[in-house]
Structure formats: structure tokens, C-alpha cells
Amino acid sequence: MASKLPDATKGLGAGGMDVEDGSGGGGGGKKVAGRWPGFVHFFFVLTVVTCALVYAPRFLSPTVPVDFLGPRQPSSGRLPVRVDGGRGNEGDALVLDNQVNSPCASMGAHGICCDRSDFNTDVCFMAGEVRTDAASLSFLLFPPQAPNGTANDANATVAEKEERVRPYTRKWEKHLMANIQEVRLRAARPDEADAHRCDVRHDAPALVMTAGGYTGNLFHAFNDGFLPAWLTVQHLRRRVVLAVLAYNPWWAGTFRELVSGLSDHHVIDLLHDKRTHCFPGAIVGTRFHGILAVEPARTKDNRTLVDFHDFLAGGYKDDSTPPEATQQQQQPRRPRLGLYSRKGTRVIENEAAVARLAESVGFDVSILETANGAPLSSEYAAVSACDVLVGVHGADLTKLLFLRPRRAALLQIAPLGVPHVARGCYEKATAMMEMQYEQYDAAANESSLVRKYPADDVVLRDPEAATRERGWDLTARVYLGGQNVSLDLGRFGDTLRRLHSRALRLPVAGP
């Protein structure tokens, strides 16, 4: 990744050669230099030599840290990092833990504290000078310097045991967590300082997260990754450095707007960057409030899922809407329905008829293609323009987060055997955004499974009993991975008319 620092070789081209031998710049260098009074030339040379003597050691000394990754910060801009939300001498302190009633809330300005009380995730906090050790994938907490410049014994009060964290929000799923790299946290001894000199010094704390796990699936990328990360550090207002495990170019490119929205700094590829990074604190792991959920009572600043929507809008929204488009939005219009067109499994086999039905009800219909390779910014533009988003249960319905809070509606089509799973994924999130949630549960005669199983088979006759007997494997293989739907247009039309009537009752507003 290119450095944001100025190139040290710039300014030593033609202009520099003029000073030395007059060979640069159009052949006029010697004439200009020759007209200079001797004392001017002397002071010019003296200035150059003085600057070289003063500044050269800062770049040539191997013991002086230089940050070639992040934006340069003024030395006076560094604020004390506290876990308890107190204030430092230089203004508001950075609060590491924004969780209400956290067991780490009483942690002081120097120490290590882990909250392992949540079923889904472990989160650890390190307050003080933290340095990385790439060889052991460790974060080391060093004691603060005493007034005489020597290390004090602050680490004597830090628990001697080593903390270990796998920073992913599905700790109950043992086989998956075994593939998440384990990060070690411990207090360093004063004599370890020389072996861990800072190569890169940051003025913001680190957040250690992973791009691994189920991140390749959009639902999990948001539910397991970016929403928990936002919950954990949104109060830092991008003054945080993302230190990412399992970093890869696809993740960085697909979610670049979200990465930029979380942090003002370059991402650290934690597994491949072998330098020693130094931070004024660290958070290892992320908070989790439930499936696509934000519980305001659990954050000190009472954040909601609508605030997360606003975070997404800040990254994806295009404010360059043409004036004619704005004028068109102010005119009476038919409500817009977005219909997700799936490929492979859980396809709506009579999709064209469903689209015509929605148009006859009074919607303008947009067919939204899944897995089309479009950037998420364009997906945001398409979905946020919809009054109603419709689709069969799947990861693309995670984009309900792009809908307009308090106005839009989600209509989720649940295939046979999937109603409970479907509702559990998206109903609560829709309610948290104060939108309308509708679920259309497909009947046996609307499922393609009628072509695979006898009418009296338990798979068709009693899906709940079938899943109780055969477990999640049956749900994943048959109900999620092995069926399509052909919707009953009469019954489905009743749901569409109800949503259309609701959309007409809402006051006209722009996106």
C-alpha cells in the first residue's frame, strides 16, 4: 500500500542540480548562480547543511519509529485512552469500552480486561502502551515510563496469565472457531522493550477483527463482521486502526466504503505485516447484540439500528442526484417494489407472473439481480429507492439495512420448512428500523419438493416433525438447498395489496 508521506526524493531533481553544478533547468543555472552575491550563496548552503544535520537522523536512525501506513498526526493531537469513559487533560479521552454494565468498566488507564460473559463473543481491552509481536501473534502491554525515564512497575498489578481470544462472533460454533486465528494478550516485562522497538507508531487504538469465518456470505459479513465492529468502535469516530486477520483483497475491495467508514487509518494485515506496531490501547474482538441487532440500552450513547443504517448511507449514498430526478420524486408516483431474482436454489419459478401481478396492484417493479458482481454502492442505490423489498429467504435480504427507516417494508417469502429460520433472521431487524415486516409462508403445493417426494412424506406433510427427527442437515440440504417456489398468485396478491395500501398512506418523501 502506498505511503501517505511525501516522497523524500521529490525536490532533488532539476532544482537541486542547479545548486550543485548548474546543469539543470534550461541551461540558465550557471548565469543565475553567478549573479548571486557571495554572502547569499553562503547562507543558502549553510541552511541546507543545517537542515540535513537536524532532520537526517530522524529518517536514518533505525530506532526512530516512522509511520509509513497511516496519516501523520500532530504530536499534540494524541489523547489519553481510558476504558471508563473519563476525561483526560487534553479534552475528551478515547473510550475503549462503550458497553453498559461491562465487567471492564472499572478498568483503569493501564491494564488488560476481558469480557467473556456473552454467548456469542469474547472481547478484550488493553489500556496503555500496546505493541505487537508478529511471530507469536501477540499484543504486549508495556508499563508506562516513570518521570525519570525508566519503566515503573505498573505491570506488577496486571494479571500474569496470558489471555487468548479468537475475534469472531460465533464462539459457540466450535468447528468454525477452530479456523479463526487466536490472538494472545499479555503484560510485557520491562526488559522486553528493546526486543519490541516500534517500527510503526499509531495515535489511535487498534481493533482486532477477522475477515474470515463466514464473511464470504453477505448476511454473515454484516451480522458477524461489520455490524459488531461498528457496535464496538463507532463511539471512537474513526479514530481506530483496524488490525485484520485473514485479510484478503476481495474483502478490502468489496467493503471498502465500510472499512473507510470505521477508520481513518490504513488497515493492518495482521498475519503478514511483520513489523512492530505500537498503539495507545487495543480492542480484541467485537460486541454482538443479536442477529442484525443493536440494543440501545446496551450502549452508553444509546445507538440504534437506524444509526447503523445512517452509517451505511454515509458510505454508499450518492448525493449528486440530478435536479430533474429530485423534481420527479416530488411528483405523485406509484410505490416502487424491488423483487430479488435468485439463481440456483429458492428461485421463484413464476417470477414473471409475480412481477406482472405487482404491477397490476399498483407498484412500479424493479427486478434486482443477485450475485451480479455489482458494487454495494449501486445495490444501495437500487434498494434504498424501494418502498417494498421482496425476496425468497436468503442472504440478499440483508440489504433491508439499505431501506429507508420508518417508511419501507420487507416482504420475505419463506419456502416450505423455513418459516422459523426466515423470521429469526430478518423480522427483528425490520422492527428495529421501524419498518413493516410481512412474511409469506409457502405451502406444500407451492414448493418444488412436491415433484420429489410423495404427498404423504413427512418432508411435505409435516416439515417441523421432519426437522426435529433429522436435524439441521435436512433443513440445509432439502429445505434451503433443494427447493424452489411457485407462488399462489391469488394468496400472494392479497399480501401485495396490503403493502401497496400502506405505501399510499405514507406521506411523500424523497429517498
In sequence order, the β-bridge partners of residue 129 are 142
Domain boundaries, the chain: 15-55, 75-143+154-303, 323-505
Other Cβ atoms closer than 10 A to 449: 22
**What whole-number distance in Å separates Cα of residue 64 and Cα of residue 83?**
29
Other Cβ atoms closer than 10 A to 68: 14
Q: Which residues contact 436 (CB under 8 A, 6 or more apart)?
A: 408, 409, 410, 430, 499, 502
Residue, of 114 and 26, whose pLDDT is higher: 114
Indicate the fold that domain 323-505 takes in CATH: Rossmann fold (3.40.50)
**What whole-number distance in Å separates Cα of residue 306 and Cα of residue 484?**
33
**What whole-number distance in Å separates Cα of residue 75 and Cα of residue 64?**
15
Alpha helices for 413-470 (secondary structure H): 419-432, 458-461, 463-470
Reply yes or no on whether the pLDDT at 31 is more than 60.
no
What cell numbers appear for 257 in the block? Answer: 466504503
Burial label, 69 (beta-carbon count in 10 A; 0-12, 13-18, 19+): buried
Reply yes or no on whether the pLDDT at 488 is more than 80.
yes
C-alpha distances (whole Å) from 480 to each of 121, 443, 468 are 27, 15, 16
3-state secondary structure 243-272: EEECCCHHHHHHCHHHHHHHCCCCCEECCC
**What whole-number distance in Å separates Cα of residue 378 and Cα of residue 390?**
18
DSSP character string of 90-133: TEEPEES--BTT-TTTT--SSEEEEE--SSS--EEEEEEEEEEE
**What whole-number distance in Å separates Cα of residue 93 and Cα of residue 90?**
8
- What kind and span of H or E run contains 352? helix 351-361
pLDDT band for position 106 (cuts 50, 70, 90): confident
**Arithmetic mean of pLDDT, 35-44:** 43
What cell numbers appear for 295 in the block? Answer: 440494543
Please give the angle made by the CA atoms of 136, 227 and 105, to the nearest 5 degrees.
65
In sequence order, the β-bridge partners of residue 142 are 129
What cell numbers appear for 79 in the block? Answer: 489523547
Residue, of 329 and 128, whose pLDDT is higher: 128
pLDDT tens digits for range 129-158: 999 999 999 999 999 876 665 556 666 566
Reply yes or no on whether the pLDDT at 40 is more than 50.
no
Question: Is the entire prediction scored with pTM above 0.85?
Answer: no
% of the chain with per-residue pLDDT over 90: 70
